[in-house]
Amino acid sequence: MRPSILRRLLRRVASTAVLGVVAATLSTVGAAQPAAAAGGLQQVTGFGTNPGNLQMYQYAPAGLPANAPLVIALHGCTQTANDYYTKSGWPKYADLWGFAVVFPQTTSANNSLSCFSWFDPAEDSRGKGEAASIVQMVEHAKQSHGSDARRVYVTGLSAGGGMTADLLAAYPDVFAGGSVASGLPAQCATSQAAASGCQTGPQKLTPTQWGDKVRGSYPGYSGPWPRVAIWQGTSDYTVYPANATALRDQWTDVWGIGQTPSSTDTLPGNTTRSIYNDASGKPAVETYSVSGMGHGLAVSPGSGTDQCGTTAAYFLNSICSTYYTGVFWGLDQDTPGGGQLPAPSGLQVTGVTANSASLSWNAVPDSASYALYRNGTKVASPTSTTYTDSGLSAGTAYRYTVAAVDASGTAGSTSPQVTATTTGGTPAQCFTATNYAHVTAGRAHTTGGYVYANGSNENMGLYNVFVTHTVKESPAGYFVIADTGCTPEVKS
């Protein structure tokens, strides 16, 4: 028997501990559903040699222009491509913003729970197995749709999230960005036996060690690196929140930007976003911590622009992660028919108060009005080149962009982003104490014998009186590790 066939047979009977013991009892969202949705999701065959034995499905809006972006969306264990197509919200934004989506699908022939094999070097490495099959799908879709090779993105849930991280590491020359939802850091496990350990608590590696796993996935590659969004529920007991911390450490290290966020803000669904900017001030890594959410993809059913998806097993009602991921990647900035007017120049913050931010920008000829966006959501349509955004929270950072709108109501290109931080609020404080004291004081919490900072979920090490850290609180209740350069300082 050929080794490749033997390996697949072994995977079929292997332990079901990998991302799915609970999944198998919660729903039957696998084989019972049709393989494709009529008139929407379409299967594609003959896309390549397909060494990973995967199936390719795709959705492309009618009239999709050339040079549009391309998104690859990977389902979780026990799911199908159709589940992800119907419940994740990606088709809505493909129609709204103009891009194609490929939905790879694995089956029980590869894994007993239809999980992507994020833990198998023969399947998740450059040029091998499932990873190679997915990249063949990318190349086929690029040729079929004339997609922009500079704007190819990959996202995935759970095991699909683990494979997403592996793809970003193995193919940084293919993917401009990624989004890992309830997933694992790249190359966390290299065997099925080690996979469950990653889920409940990945190795306690330094950011450099995590980054080395990415750099080692494509030796000699020096950038540019993908921009990575990380989504995690704080009550996820299938893939523990420590994985989001490891992912953050991994990709900020790859970017060389450190693990202290450039800013944080609060989003719908009890979600805290932490933004890590690159040297040019553009977000390179963003983490989204959804308070109280379990294991799944965050969705928010509704008709609003920032609402999407359908609730079901592993599609959890809190916030539309697909919308915020698309905005992070910039998919909303190139809608069909847009771009006739150039981006306004000179956007700047002219003043702030505790609850408002004032902005101004340079006029764009032939514009009828402007569209002002706060944190990626349109908040105003002023006709002048100044605007004061009110009703804000004190001591909070807000990101703004602006676009010119022509007489037909079509928005042009979006300006570079600026950040306005309102005054007031609780001043930033720094606390130096043992891990035990931080937990006792309510600045951190414990999971599996380790301590994690409240808010950021940064791993602070073992729960004892021997490890000491300084943490900074800003905004109130949100703590980050700040062992150097943090003032004023409180010893406690």
- Catalytically active residues, by annotation: 158
Q: Are 99 and 331 in contact (CB under 8 A)?
A: yes
Q: Is 132 helix (H, G, I), strand (E, B) or coil?
A: helix
Which residue has tokens 């190139």? 334
Number of neighbours of residue 437 by Cβ within 10 angstroms = 16
For residue 63, the number of C-alpha atoms closer than 13 Å in the C-beta half-sphere is: 6
**Sign, CA torsion 46/47/52/53:** negative
CA distance 1 to 67: 45
- Assigned token pair, 119: 């833990």
Give Cα separations from 77 to 15, 19, 37 (angstroms).
14, 7, 20
Longest dimension (CA), the chain: 73
Of 395, 417, 466, which Cα lies nearest the Cα of 437?
Answer: 466
Q: Are 52 and 129 in contact (CB under 8 A)?
A: yes
Q: Is 121 helix (H, G, I), strand (E, B) or coil?
A: helix
CA distance 83 to 431: 46
Q: Are 180 and 156 in contact (CB under 8 A)?
A: yes
CA distance 405 to 407: 7
CA distance 245 to 381: 38
CA distance 289 to 281: 22
Please, which residues have CB within 8 angstroms of residue 416's CB and are 6 or more apart in sequence?
Answer: 343, 347, 401
